[in-house]
Structure 1
Amino acid sequence: MEAVRVLFVCLGNICRSPMAEAVMRHIVRQESLPYPIEVDSAGTGDWHLGHQPHEGTRKVLDEHGVSYEGMRARLVKPEDYGSFTYIICMDRKNLKDVRDVFRNGIDRDGKVFTFMELLPHRGVQDVPDPYYEGNFPYVYELVEEGCRALLAKIKADMVRG
């Protein structure tokens, strides 16, 4: 069976999207799924290319026993559109930037959306950027809840086929 591939996207790919990548990988490892789920992350800006996740992200992941081993920042690229089943942007600005990278087709199949669309009951449209706000524990809370909602969506989508 072909793998379900998930790409999380934020600005610099050192805080929110690698946190989501690590948490989603962790949650997927805990499940016995009849299909593989591959997870990656990327950024829309090139300031941190090749860097490991931000110290605040690493600290909160360590506190929750979530591995981020081997993760390095990279840029989102046009070919990612065809390579991933779901492309989840951490905020609306990232969504706009991703649309600019992909240039066409992204509104036709519903695979590109914002992370907080997974958590409409929260009443928040964007995952706040802890790089500027320092609120890594709150972002982790959103990310963990959203990744669980994403896994439920993937399972439901797989049943629908």
Structure 2
Amino acid sequence: MIRVLFVCLGNICRSPMAEAIFRKRIEREGLSDKMTVDSAGIGHWHIGKEPHKGTRTLLDQNKISYKDMKARQVEPADWDHFDYIIAMDEQNMSDLQAIREKNGVEVDLFMNYVEEADLKGVPDPYFTGNFDYVYKLIDTGSTNLLEQIKQKHFKEEL
């Protein structure tokens, strides 16, 4: 089982959006029995809350479920549970590295999977309000990340 964790600041905007979009891609590819996905936040402010209204609106418009998704804080045990930990921006990446060293877990920036963008991090729509742009970045990056994981782990099945 390949496990992917998306991490942003509060786990109500970017990372739950990435979790929901990525889960939908996994289902479409018929990989639900081979992969799981989750999301978490660096901070504790939103623990137990559902995704932000802006995230929910876009996921609803695109018929992507976020059912039962609740914000949680990243914890050191995540390094033992996940194969890939994907940070939504450079500050999240730095914070993740301060929590625990990589220890064989692939920790990477989400924007490394969005080739056509010049950004280093996914802008936080909690502050910018631009959920549409973030959705486009996450949609593209999720496709590319899944393709890379498929090539690395499921190549013989393709």
Compute the displacement of 1:120 (Å): 2.9
Q: Normalising to structure 2: TM-score of the pair?
A: 0.94
Compute the displacement of 1:82 (Å): 1.4
Deviations 1:14-58 (A, max 9, x none): 000000000000111111239511000000001100000000000
Deviations 1:3-22 (A, max 9, x none): 11000000000000000000
Structure 2 residues not aligned, in runs of 5+? none
Q: What amino acid does structure 2 have at the position aligned with 1:78?
A: P
Q: Structure 2 matches for 1:39-58, cutoff 5 A?
A: 39-58=37-56
Change (3 A) 1:42 1:148: same
Percent pairwise identity? 47
2:128 matches 1:133? yes
Q: What amino acid does structure 2 have at the position aligned with 1:152?
A: E
Q: What amino acid does structure 1 have at the position aligned with 2:136?
A: E
CA separation in 1, counterparts of 2:50 and 2:132? Answer: 19
2:96 matches 1:73? no
Q: Normalising to structure 1: TM-score of the pair?
A: 0.92
2:34 matches 1:36? yes
Moved over 4 A (4+): none
2:154 matches 1:156? no
The structure 2 residue matched to 1:14, chosen from 4, 12, 29, is 12
Q: What amino acid does structure 1 have at the position aligned with 2:145?
A: L
Change (3 A) 1:79 1:58: same
CA separation in 1, counterparts of 2:86 and 2:63? Answer: 23
Change (3 A) 1:100 1:155: same
Aligned partner of 1:122 in structure 2 is 117
CA separation in 2, counterparts of 1:154 and 1:7? Answer: 13
CA separation in 2, counterparts of 1:36 and 1:152? Answer: 14
Deviations 1:45-77 (A, max 9, x none): 011000000000000100100000000000000
Structure 1 residues not aligned, in runs of 5+? none
Change (3 A) 1:46 1:155: same
Q: What amino acid does structure 1 have at the position aligned with 2:118?
A: G
Compute the displacement of 1:141 (Å): 0.4
CA contact (8 A) 1:4 1:35 kept: no
Compute the displacement of 1:119 (Å): 1.4
Aligned partner of 1:82 in structure 2 is 80
Let me know the Cα RMSD of the aligned residues. 1.6
